[in-house]
């Protein structure tokens, strides 16, 4: 089977339930941005020296982001048998956030997204995650979606912020406060 199907040449793309929608739709914008986030996490994972726990978390997040993409690509009322994101996925990332928060000093000011290369890449992933979240919120204002998706993306951006701070701390790089 060829990757080139030519079915999208007219500016339409197929959802998991078979419906064809504009490639400019909010639904495609949302799951396309989730796909971009997954690619950015792939760039982060290509970096050398990532702590084993963070690497494990990022790989698990990439797998969950495929579920998020599928969830967003399938209207909530669809009879297509897809796996939906669950509250357990949210709970897992919240536990990782708790671990990172305990290891880091409390912030008293805003910080610049910078530091070590790994820290800066994690900050970049965080900003793409925030964009994915904004797209998803806009979609949810027009159509019903799985609410766990919005919550997960919000928590994921929190995790990436903390992971960036932790990477910089482990490298001995002081955060630049604003």
Q: pLDDT for 9-38, tens place per residue?
A: 666 666 666 666 656 689 999 999 999 999
Tokens found for residue 58: 């990022």
3-state secondary structure of 5: coil
The CA distance from 121 to 114, in Å, is 9
The CA distance from 169 to 164, in Å, is 9
Percent of the chain predicted with pLDDT > 90: 74
The CA distance from 140 to 145, in Å, is 6
What digits encode the pLDDT tens for the residues 99-156? 999 999 888 889 889 999 999 999 999 999 999 999 999 999 999 999 999 999 999 9
The CA distance from 176 to 83, in Å, is 42
Domain positions in the chain are 21-74+82-170
CATH class belonging to 21-74+82-170? mainly alpha
What digits encode the pLDDT tens for the residues 49-102? 899 999 999 999 999 999 999 999 999 988 778 899 999 999 999 999 999 999
Structural contact between residues 80 and 16, judged by C-beta atoms closer than 8 angstroms: yes
Q: What is the pTM of this model?
A: 0.90
Q: If you search the block for the tokens 């400019």, which residue do you land on?
A: 24
């Amino acid at each position: 089977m060829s990757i080139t199907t030519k079915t999208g040449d007219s500016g339409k793309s197929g959802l998991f339930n078979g419906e064809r929608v504009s490639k400019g739709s909010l639904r495609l914008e949302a799951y396309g941005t989730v796909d971009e986030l997954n690619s950015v996490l792939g760039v982060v994972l290509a970096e050398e020296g990532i702590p084993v726990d963070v690497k494990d978390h990022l790989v698990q997040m990439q797998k969950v982001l495929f579920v998020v993409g599928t969830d967003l690509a399938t209207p909530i009322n669809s009879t297509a048998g897809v796996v939906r994101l669950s509250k357990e996925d949210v709970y897992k990332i919240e536990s990782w956030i708790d671990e990172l928060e305990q290891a880091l000093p409390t912030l008293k000011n805003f910080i610049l997204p910078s530091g070590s290369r790994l820290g800066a890449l994690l900050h970049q992933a965080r900003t793409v995650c925030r964009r994915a979240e904004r797209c998803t919120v806009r979609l949810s204002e027009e159509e019903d979606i799985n609410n766990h998706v919005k919550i997960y993306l919000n928590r994921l951006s929190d995790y990436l912020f903390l992971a960036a701070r932790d990477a910089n701390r482990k490298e001995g790089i002081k955060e630049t406060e604003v």
